[in-house]
Structures are given as structure tokens and as C-alpha cells.
Chains A and B, each alone.
Chain A
Amino acid sequence: MKPAPFDYRRPGSLTEAVAALAGEPGAKVLAGGQSLVPLLSMRLAAPSMLVDINGLPGLDTITADDTGVTIGALARHADVLASDEVRRVQPLVPMALAHVAHATIRNRGTTVGSLVHADAAAEMPVVLSLLGGSLDVEGPGGRRTVPAAELYVGPMECSVHHDEIAVSAHFPALAPGAGVAFDEVARRHGDYALVGAAALVDGKSVQVGYLSVADVPTVVDLSGVPDDRLGDVALEHLDPGDDIHATSDYRAQLVRVLTARVVRSAREGGAR
């Protein structure tokens, strides 16, 4: 089980990196590689070139201010999770990161990489979508900001072009009085979740984002829905699938349980 051959570039600047991608339609960006390298080894992906951005300066930043948390493309999950500033400004980020794989994977994997990998079973795309965050990407035409609502277009597919590099992600701050919560059920701690849910409750507004129950990270507006109907209303917008790990009925039941749980927990958090 070895990757197929590919060309390798390790540019020293963002401009060089974008240029390397532009000249090679089959090229992929390598950051943490914790999702990409297994795909290469299993030969589910065979890019013609990897552009390794690990040598680029200034991309490992994590900043937090009143507007939110901004995470650079080379910030590792572990560093984001350990940041007290991030926890203070947007606690949903570390709540969800604690469920991302195992500590050893988080030491190398990057939060921005997870966002553009666009796996509907991953935690951070749901968090970005729920919070209405955005991604800054650098391409041949310069920099643009992609809102989370326009980011996820299909299974493992996001709207970042092949010659663009995601340089940072912005997670908006938690508003005063609002509450957030995250929970998921997995066969084993650290495995992909059978179902996961994140809630954002702000006054009468109740939003819940889901992973593993649709082709893309899906946020459902549950404002005004009675507590005993939350999960059932959410299921009208979701499509829990069958696989070797769980039936669709079981996933639907997990949606009901987790929805009630995260909404309650987010309300309690907001009330504090």
C-alpha cells in the first residue's frame, strides 16, 4: 500500500505555491496530510503533483479578537485546541476539535486543511457552516473570501478552485448571551462519527449543524420548533444513510437524541 508516484514541490512563498498549482491541473496542496496521505496510500487519490505548503512562512497563526477567531492554514488542530483565547472567543471550536481524530493526528493535521477536505463526516466544516464563518483563499487573481454557505458543493467537494490555496479560516465570535454545544456518537472514541451535531442558540434563534447525515455539512434552522419535535423537524432536512456501521433508522434516532442534547446544552451555556 504505497502512494502512486507524483512530482513534489516545496515552495518558499505563497506566490510560488499558487504558480506551481496553476501550471499543473492534477496538483494538490499538502498541509498536514492526515486525510490526504491515507488517500494516496490507498490510491483513492493519485495527484500528479503535491505542492507542500509546510515551508511557507506566516501561515501557522492563530488570532482571536472581538470579531472572532482566525486560523492560518498551517495551524495544527492541537494548537488551536490548546488556545485559551480561541476557547474564550468561540468555545464551539475547541468543543468540536476535541472530537477530531486522536491527539496524535491533531498534532499534524490542520484545521484549514480539514475545512477544504470537505468531508461531510468531519467536525470542522459543520462548525464553520453553523457559525457562518468564511475561508480566505489565494489564487492567481489574488485573494478572495468564500463564505461558508458557498463553500460546500458536494461530497468531498468544495468551491475552492484547484489553483487556489486556502490561507486562513474565520470563525465568528460567540455573541454575548448566546450558547453553543457539540456532541457526537462514534463506534470508538476518535473514529468518524455515526452522527454528530453542533448547536448555536441565540435568544429565540436555534440553529443545529449535522455531520455524517447528508452529502455536505448541513445546518437546519430549528427556531420556534417545540422541544419534543426538534429531531423530527431536523430529519426533514437530512438524509441519514445505511452503511456497515449503522442503519439509517439508527442514525435517525441518533439525530433525535443528539439534537435534543446539544440544543439543551447550548441553552444552558447561553444562560450562564
Chain B
Amino acid sequence: MSEEQHDVVLTVNGTAHPVSVPARRLLSDALRHDLGLTGTHVGCEHGVCGACTVLLDGRPVRSCLLLAVSAQDGEIITVEGLANADGSLGPVQQAFLECHGLQCGFCTPGFLTTITAGLRDNPTPTHEEARDMIAGNLCRCTGYQNIVRAVERAAELARDGAPHAQVPHPPEPEAGQLEFEDRDDDNASTGLGA
């Protein structure tokens, strides 16, 4: 018995891709397997980790929580669509490079898409808002501090217009506390304020 295939057109990064998929094909798998766009990463595959986040009609959504057949009416942007038209890095990508916002890079595509939309909606986030913007994405390497810095740096770059590759000085540790390490006010990461 062969499974019924559905012919749908997925519009990804401005290009229309006709595909034939079974109804159960997740959008994340359609992007990777059917379209070969492997920039979108699949982590937990049940909506917790955020690695597979793409933009659907400009809004961040989990591509592992969408069926490809259900995404056919929308405009999808993946991490492959975030570079500038001339191929140079977009402001969020540039900021991740400058701030060392990634280590293994697995979670990065989800952060980049999430932050791109977040800064469009709020171009001047406070430190708290920058943290809240990425609260739904998990990173197992960085400890998040450099990702928060990258959000703030990306906001600067976007405000300045053109991205420029100026690497900031590394933080100078003060006695007993790193400059960028959040201490008692760190409610966002624990949820318990402790």
C-alpha cells in the first residue's frame, strides 16, 4: 500500500518549490529532504529546542510542528534566506560572528531566524528584552551570554545600516564576576528567580 501524496507548492526564500509529499511530512523534513535546504536543523523534533525555527509570513514558527501540506499558503524564510543580497552576512549573522555567539552551531539557525524577526519587531531591545527574545531557543554550548550580546550587537548593526566586521574587545573580567554574567536578576534562565 503506498501512501497518498499531496502536491503542494512551498514558497521558500522567495522561490516557489512544487513538491509531492505525504500528509505526515513535517515542514522541517520537507525543507531538508525534499528541498535540500539543510540549514534548518532538527533537534528535539517536538517543539522544545527551537533549532528548526523558520519564519512563516514573517513570524518565527517551529518547522517541526508544522505539516508541509499545512504551510503551502505561506511565505517561508529559512536561515538560507538571511544573508544580504550580495551574499555577505546579514546583521544577525554578522553579530554572531563578532560576538562568538555560536560554538558547535547546531542551534544557530533557529536563533538567527528568531532574532531576525525579533529585531524587526523591536529594533532597540533592552537587555531583558534581548534575553526574552531568545527564551524559546536552547543552546547547549555557549551559556547564552554571547548570544544575548549578539542580539544587542545585531540591533546596533541594523541601526547603523550596513554591517561591518569590527570585532569587539573581549570582556575584561572583574574580580569574581564576568562583565556579561547575569547574577541575581537572572530570572529568565531559571524561571524561579533563584
Residues of A within 8 A of B (CB): 1-8, 10, 30, 33-34, 37-38, 40-42, 50, 52, 54-55, 78, 101-105, 107-108, 185-191
Contact = CB atoms under 8 A, between A and B. Distances in A.
Nearest to B46: A38
13 contacts: A1-B46, A2-B26, A3-B24, A7-B4, A10-B70, A33-B70, A37-B65, A52-B67, A54-B70, A103-B135, A107-B61, A189-B189, A191-B191
Contacts of B189: 188-189
A4 B47 contact: no
B157 interface: no
Interface of B: 3-4, 6, 22-24, 26, 29, 45-47, 50, 53, 56, 59-62, 64-67, 69-70, 73, 114, 133, 135-136, 187-192
Nearest to B24: A3
Contacts of A101: 136
B110 to A, nearest CB: 9
Nearest to B61: A108
B69 A189 contact: no
Scoring A2, A107, A187 by chain B CB atoms within 10 A of each residue's CB, the highest score goes to: A107
B23 A6 contact: yes
Contact of B47 (A7, A10, A30, A34): A34
A112 to B, nearest CB: 17
Contacts of B47: 34, 37-38, 105
Contacts, number: 101
A30 B65 contact: no
A38 B67 CA distance: 11
A104 B62 contact: yes
Contacts of B22: 5
B45 A1 contact: yes
B24 A2 contact: yes
- B contact face: mostly helix, strand, loop, or mixed: mixed
Which of B3, B6, B60, B189 has the most chain A CB atoms closer than 10 A to its own CB?
Answer: B60
Contacts of B191: 185-189, 191
B136 A105 contact: yes
A34 B65 contact: yes
B46 A41 contact: yes
A6 B24 contact: yes
A33 B46 CA distance: 11
A37 B73 contact: no
- Among B3, B56, B70, B190, which residue has the most Cβ atoms of chain A within 10 A? B70
Contacts of B190: 188
A175 B114 CA distance: 38
B62 A190 contact: no
A189 B190 CA distance: 7
B66 to A, nearest CB: 7
A190 B136 contact: yes
Given A102-B135, A187-B191, A41 B70 contact: no
A52 B60 contact: no
B67 A104 contact: no
A3 B114 CA distance: 26
Given A2-B24, A190-B136, A103 B60 contact: yes
Given A7-B4, A50-B23, A102-B135, A37 B67 contact: yes
Contacts of A188: 189-191
Most chain A beta-carbon neighbours within 10 Å: one of B69, B73, B188: B69
Given A50-B23, A188-B190, A107 B60 contact: yes
Pick the most buried of A7, A50, A108: most chain B CB atoms within 10 A of its CB: A108
B66 A52 contact: no
